[in-house]
Copies of this chain bind each other. A is one copy, B any other.
Amino acid sequence: MAQKKQKSRHPSEPKVGIWIFGALGGLATTLVTGTRAAAKGLMPAQGLLTESPLCEGLDFPSLGSMVFGGHEVRRGKPRDAAVEIHERTGTIPYPLLDLLEEDYRAYGKEIRKGVLTNSGRTIRKMVGSDSTAKDDETLLEAVTRLQKEIKSFKRRNDLSTVLCVNLCSTEPKLKLTRTHQTREGLEKAIAKNQQSTVRPSTLYAYAAASLGLPFLNFTPSNGTLIPAIREIFEQEGAPYMGSDGKTGETLVKSALAPMFKYRNLKVLSWQGYNILGDRDGAVLNDAENKASKVESKDRLLHSILGYPLHTHVGIDYVPSLDDLKTAWDFIHFQGFLGVKMSLQFTWQGADAVLAAPLILDLVRFLELAQKRGEVGAQPQLASFFKSPLDCDEHDLHRQWHDLGRYLDGVRDDSPDK
């Protein structure tokens, strides 16, 4: 079905860096495992749009050309993280644990100490006392170190570019003030070491922005792509996009909701319940952290349908499920003669497995944007996000066609056409 792309790297192909904030999380581990496995021909690259007919004729970095590194606050080794995933959900097949031993080791060497500044009680508790984060660093020392480590990664690996990806746990909502509106305000706060002004992802995004590197916010954390950071990306000339990867229940919602509009069936209520375990579930079990997520998931129905309706999005922690997220949605709607009817669905997906290929697609699309000199938010990538920046379109189908049109434009611009 999918068009065959070159997965392994040709000797002449430049290498690109993928720098992951949250480098030992389940998603990062799944991402690195799957990419290396596909690059070595051990697994198909299923789940990647950039390997599908939509992207035919476009030139993206091969999976084999990608070099991974990142920041992380927990101690540990990539292969151990992969073993844990294998044992808990089986989504990483056992044989890969050995076949990728060298790849895990190489990745582990590129992981640096993360930051935990003002990350909130739940993330702190989950990380535990044995964190790698240096609590005595000032904000300025922290960002300087982060920048240095990313630059060193690029240089040491001879990379054509580095694409930065935020895969950290969802942070508690950051209260945004005037300080966050401008580069000047933010840099002052950093200089004054005003720790309560930032979240870890603010510092990570700052590091990427100030280095002019493309950036992807795959989380709903609102402290990441604040106006000040966006201003820096514009000034330094880098593309970025966010927020919150659309992988499961919200994906189905955005595919299904238009159907009711096509039939002029009035949606009365749309109740959604998500249950999941693992670190993601544990963090979202905290009401503070959950708030960011629910808001991101709940917005789109009104937008697609065009009228207010009763909605609910629940997220509950069920440890036994680990990463195998299950969601039940109940949709109550009304038709001709006022008759009420219903549709319900149960989604059972492995969250990291669904998310990892989107990240590969997104870094490829950001790399493309960068090569084309595009700067700032990239709304043509809206279909990948629950809360797409600078885009009011939530209908999955329209989002997809928007991306298709963008890619047609890319093809038209290409010299060999």
A269 partner, pick from B43, B86, B258, B319, beta carbons under 8 A: B319
Which chain A residues in 37-54 approach chain B with CB under 8 Å? 37, 43-49, 51-53
Q: Does A320 contact B (CB under 8 A)?
A: yes
Interface bits A39-71 vs B (CB < 8 Å: 1, else 0):
000011111110111000000000000000000
For window 255-298 of chain A, which residues contact chain B by CB distance below 8 Å? 255-256, 258-259, 261-266, 268-269, 271, 273, 275
In the complex, chain B residues whose CB is within 8 Å of the CB of A383: 262
A191 CB within 8 Å of chain B: no
A257 to B: closest C-beta gap in Å: 9
Q: How far is the CA of A266 from the CA of B47 in the complex (A)?
A: 8
Contact of A396 among B95, B262, B345, B353 (CB under 8 A): B262
> How far, in Å, is A395 (CB) from chain B's closest CB?
8
Interface membership of chain A positions 18-42, coded 1 if the CB is closer than 8 angstroms to chain B and 0 otherwise: 0000000000001001100100000
Copies of this subunit? 4
Binding site of A, secondary structure by majority: helix, strand, loop or mixed? mixed
- Chain B residues whose C-beta falls within 8 Å of the C-beta of A150 in the assembled complex: none
A271–B262 CB distance below 8 A: no
Contact B275 A316 (CB under 8 A): no
CB distance from A222 to the nearest CB of B (A): 26
Whole-angstrom CA separation of A321 from B338 in the bound complex: 13
- Which of B47, B52, B306, B328 interacts with A1 by CB under 8 Å? B306
Instruction: Count contacts on A: residues with CB < 8 A to the other chain.
Output: 82
Q: Which B residues are in CB contact (< 8 Å) with A76?
A: none
Q: Would you call A143 an interface residue if the criterion is a C-beta within 8 Å of the partner chain's C-beta atoms?
A: no
Complexed CA–CA distance, A341 and B327 (Å): 12
Does any Cβ of B come within 8 Å of A90's Cβ? yes
Contacting residues, chain B, for A269 (C-beta < 8 A): 275, 318-321
CB of A314 closer than 8 Å to a CB of B: yes
Collect the chain B residues with CB atoms within 8 Å of residue A340's CB: 320
A356 proximal to B (CB < 8 A)? yes
CB distance from A356 to the nearest CB of B (A): 5
Q: Which residues of A in the span 59-101 have a Cβ within 8 Å of any Cβ on B?
A: 86, 90-95
Bitwise interface map of A from 343 to 379 toward B, beta carbon under 8 Å scored 1, else 0: 1111111100110111000000000000000000000
Determine whether the beta carbon of B337 is less than 8 Å from that of A332. no
Q: Shortest Cβ distance from A335 into chain B, in angstroms?
A: 4
Contact across chains for A341 and B353 when beta carbons are under 8 A apart = yes
Please name the 3 residue pairs, one residue from A and one from B, whose CB atoms are nearest each other, closest first.
A94-B94, A268-B320, A397-B397
A interface residues, Cβ below 8 angstroms from B: 1-2, 30, 33-34, 37, 43-49, 51-53, 86, 90-95, 251-252, 255-256, 258-259, 261-266, 268-269, 271, 273, 275, 305-307, 310, 312, 314, 316, 318-321, 326, 328, 330, 332, 334-350, 353-354, 356-358, 383, 396-397, 400-401
Name 15 extra pairs, CB < 8 A, besides A33-B337, A46-B265, A341-B354: A1-B306, A1-B307, A34-B337, A46-B338, A52-B264, A53-B306, A90-B90, A92-B337, A255-B259, A310-B320, A314-B316, A326-B342, A335-B350, A336-B356, A336-B357
Can you list 17 A-B pairs with a CB-CB distance of less than 8 A?
A: A1-B307, A46-B335, A49-B262, A49-B263, A86-B94, A93-B337, A94-B95, A256-B256, A259-B396, A263-B358, A268-B320, A269-B318, A275-B330, A328-B344, A336-B354, A341-B349, A343-B345
